[in-house]
Structure 1
Amino acid sequence: MSFVITGLNSEEFSELNGLGAEALAARNVVVYEADAKPGFPCRVSLADAEVGERVFLLNYTYQPHETPYRASHAIFVRENAPEAPPYIGTIPLSLSSRLLSLRGFDKAHMMIEADIAEGEEVKPMLERFFANPEVNYVQLHYARRGCFAAAAHRA
């Protein structure tokens, strides 16, 4: 079963670009300068920030639906991040290079599949999840810090 992985929409974060630390702090956004690569995986570009690049750490509601799974958590977004192209049937390096928690949700936004995978295991697991006709979408999270990474849908 083919799938597509997409990053977040850059427009959601455009108001942060160019703001100073004080203005960002008033929005509960912490500014970092990337000091290692990999180390700061951007949820818009689906790529790790380059060393020296400015990144924002902010709270993001990745599961906005009114269910027991409604959730938000910290994510990194690169300043002026370009949107990632859709990854059709492939896994971005920022995801495949880390241990992931995959969570499959049905149309009612209830979790019906869940497992962990890393590297070459991610693609077959996504295919297995989407082989279940009840799975509507899959959220991928970085397992070690528990942060939302990206979403996958049927292609």
Structure 2
Amino acid sequence: MSYRISGLDPAPFLHLYHLSDEALHEHRAVRHVAGTTGGYPDRVELRDALPGESLLLVNYEHQPADTPYRSRHAVYLLEGATTAATFYDEIPLLFRRRMMSLRAFTAQDMLHVATVVLGDAMEPTVHEWLADDRVAYIHAHYAGAGCYAARIDRA
């Protein structure tokens, strides 16, 4: 089963880029600069920020469905990112180094199945779940903090 992993569309966040810290606060957002080890996972380009790169920590509604699974959480966005990454039949390096929580949802936006797996080993689960007609899409989260990482769809 062919699949696509998509980063966030940056359009809803462009107005936040380059705002002052005070102005960001009014939008419930915070600027972070990646330190010498980087390690902040950007949700637009689906990569770790490089040392010195600026990111915005924002609250994002990754599951807007009108169901009990409606959800939002903090995510990092690379400040200045303008193009969402798309990976076809490939797990991004960003995920491969982390423990991931995968959550498969039905067309009615109800949770069908979930698991926790090392990112290096998540591809067989993605294939299996997307081969199931009951699964409409998958959300990937970082298992430790529970933050939304990306959406996975059939390609």
Q: By the TM > 0.5 criterion, same fold?
A: yes
Q: Considering only aligned residues, what root-mean-square deviation do their CA atoms show, in Å?
A: 1.1
Is residue 117 of structure 2 the alignment partner of residue 130 of structure 1?
A: no
Q: Shift in Å at residue 82 of structure 1? A: 3.8
Aligned residues of 1:37 and 1:49 also touching (Cα < 8 A)? no
- The one-letter amino acid paired with 1:100 is M
Aligned pairs (5 A) from 1:5-154: 5-154=5-154
**Structure 1 segments of 4 or more deviating over 3 A?**
none
- Structure 2 unmatched ranges of 5 or more: none
Q: Shift in Å at residue 50 of structure 1? A: 0.9
Q: After superposition, what is the alpha-carbon deviation per residue over 1:48-73, rounded to whole angstroms, capped at 9, x for unaligned?
A: 11111111111100000100000000
Aligned residues of 2:102 and 2:141 also touching (Cα < 8 A)? yes
Identity %: 39
- C-alpha separation between the residues in 2 aligned to 1:101 and 1:107? 20
Aligned residues of 1:103 and 1:139 also touching (Cα < 8 A)? yes
- C-alpha separation between the residues in 2 aligned to 1:85 and 1:42? 10
Aligned residues of 2:54 and 2:78 also touching (Cα < 8 A)? yes
What TM-score do the two structures reach when normalised by structure 2?
Answer: 0.96
What TM-score do the two structures reach when normalised by structure 1?
Answer: 0.96
Question: Residues 2 and 37 of structure 1: is their aligned pair in 2 closer, same or farther, counting only changes over 3 Å?
Answer: farther
- C-alpha separation between the residues in 1 aligned to 2:68 and 2:99? 25
- C-alpha separation between the residues in 1 aligned to 2:105 and 2:54? 33
- C-alpha separation between the residues in 1 aligned to 2:50 and 2:115? 30
Q: How many residues are matched?
A: 155
